[in-house]
Amino acid sequence: MIIGVPKEIKNNENRVALTPAGAKELVKRGHTVYVQHTAGEGSGFSDSEYETAGAKILPTIEATYEIAEMIIKVKEPIEPEYALIKEDQLLFTYFHFASHEPLTKAMVDSNAVCLAYETVEKSDRSLPLLIPMSEVAGRMSVQKGANYLEKPLKGRGILLGGVPGVLPAKVLILGGGIVGTQAAWMAAGLGADVTIMDVSLQRMRYLEDVMPANVNTMMSNEYNIRKMIKSADLIIGAVLIPGAKAPHLITRDMLKDMRPGTVLVDVAVDQGGCIETCKPTTHENPTFIIDDVVHYCVANMPGAVPYTSTLALTNATLPYAIQLADKGWKKAAQENAELIPGLNVINGDIVYKAVAEAFGMNYVPVEKYL
């Protein structure tokens, strides 16, 4: 198969979808790998490293899309890329369709095959290609939150871990999944007073067992959220409904109950966000303020630590990329059921129910193609 790795063009996105080591594995199996010039530079990989691994370098993004049967990316295609995507071309990347209607319509119109990292699903319901970036984003959410609590950045002027004789900051985490768990570890490690909210009693029992003493669990409901936000210094939104839009757990009217300088970090913003007032921002302009509450809503947080993120992501994606290249997407999905929920759009049809429902568009069961 001919595989193309374009350079990411989303604002401040420095990750790359394939490392030189990954390129070598694909070339070893007889595939041809084309990497766009400087695609790996942001993650610390030079063109010469890819060439040594057996890949070929192309000068432009247009040339990369034009030649490839399979495109491997990190972030969803953005508008300048829409016209480059060809009929029957396989795109293997993060899409987060349910929060972005123009992207969904563009991919439907392209007649391409869109296989989304974030909805590839194991039999135990875990999301193997979302986990590594959730781990990075969860840990980063606390780093960023701690930073924006500083007064020069319009925060409350509170040190996350406090000092002897001064209480630590209160951190409220909405969601006890991968992001929430990683955020709790980081916040607890820095000495904060942490509360994780979740709707699953089973999950909270697990968290209660594994977390240190400065982490408490609490049932997530509107009453409890309204009560806790009044004293929280840092609130982290870590809610995920696979393939669908995140629900708004913090609404616009709740901001008036928060103290000035409270910091909100919405890790779910690329799936629509679980904080109503959050809108996607970039690493260039990461925050905005509403009602004296600082909102940090960067949609590609792991892009700020591209070396770590690229290695963590490609460790997870490469085995699937090899299957897709070796067998083609159809046979690979027939032989590995984990790939089937990853299929979101095929040849103009939306084959992932939550995406079709998000926009009231027509849904076609994926079985039509398998």
60-69: pLDDT as tens digits: 999 999 999 9
198 bridge partner residues: 219
The catalytic residues are: 96, 270
How is the chain split into domains, by residue range? 2-126+306-368, 131-296
Nearest CA-CA partner of 145 in 165, 164, 161, 132 = 161
Task: State how far the alpha carbon of 245 is from the alpha carbons of 35, 199, 270, in Å.
Answer: 33, 17, 9
Cβ neighbourhood burial of 164 (10 Å; 0-12, 13-18, 19+): exposed
Any known ligand binding at 299? yes
Q: Which amino acid is at 74?
A: V
Q: Which amino acid is at 55?
A: A
Any known ligand binding at 292? no
Polymer length of the chain: 370
pLDDT tens, position by position, 9-33:
988 899 999 999 999 999 999 999 9
* pLDDT (mean) for 310-333: 97
Any known ligand binding at 364? no
pLDDT above 90 (res 92):
yes
pLDDT tens, position by position, 129-148:
999 999 999 999 999 999 99
Q: How many CB atoms lie within 10 A of CB 49?
A: 17
2-126+306-368: CATH number? 3.40.50.720
Q: How far is CA 363 from the centre of its chain?
A: 24
pLDDT above 90 (res 245):
no
Q: Which amino acid is at 53?
A: A
* pLDDT (mean) for 209-225: 97
% of the chain beyond a pLDDT of 70: 100
Q: Side by side, which strands form the sheet with 215-219?
A: 215-219, 193-198, 170-174, 234-237, 263-266, 293-296, 287-290
pLDDT at residue number 156: 97
* pLDDT (mean) for 312-326: 97
CATH 3.40.50.720 at 131-296, yes or no: yes
pLDDT at residue number 224: 98
pLDDT above 90 (res 240):
no
Average pLDDT score, the chain: 96
| C-alpha to C-alpha distance for 327 and 310, rounded to whole angstroms | 25
| C-alpha to C-alpha distance for 205 and 186, rounded to whole angstroms | 19
pTM, entire model: 0.88
pLDDT above 80 (res 177):
yes
Contact 161, 192 (CB under 8 A): yes
pLDDT at residue number 242: 74
Any known ligand binding at 198? yes
| C-alpha to C-alpha distance for 211 and 225, rounded to whole angstroms | 21
One fold for both 2-126+306-368 and 131-296? yes
% of the chain beyond a pLDDT of 90: 94
* pLDDT (mean) for 156-175: 98
pLDDT at residue number 11: 82
Pick the range with the lowest mean pLDDT from 185-194, 209-218, 298-307: 298-307
Contact 176, 196 (CB under 8 A): yes
Any known ligand binding at 134? yes
First to last CA, the chain: 20
Greater pLDDT, 241 or 336: 336
pLDDT above 90 (res 244):
no
pLDDT at residue number 138: 97
| C-alpha to C-alpha distance for 189 and 85, rounded to whole angstroms | 45
- In the numeric block, the tokens 């007032």 are attached to 277
pLDDT above 90 (res 235):
yes
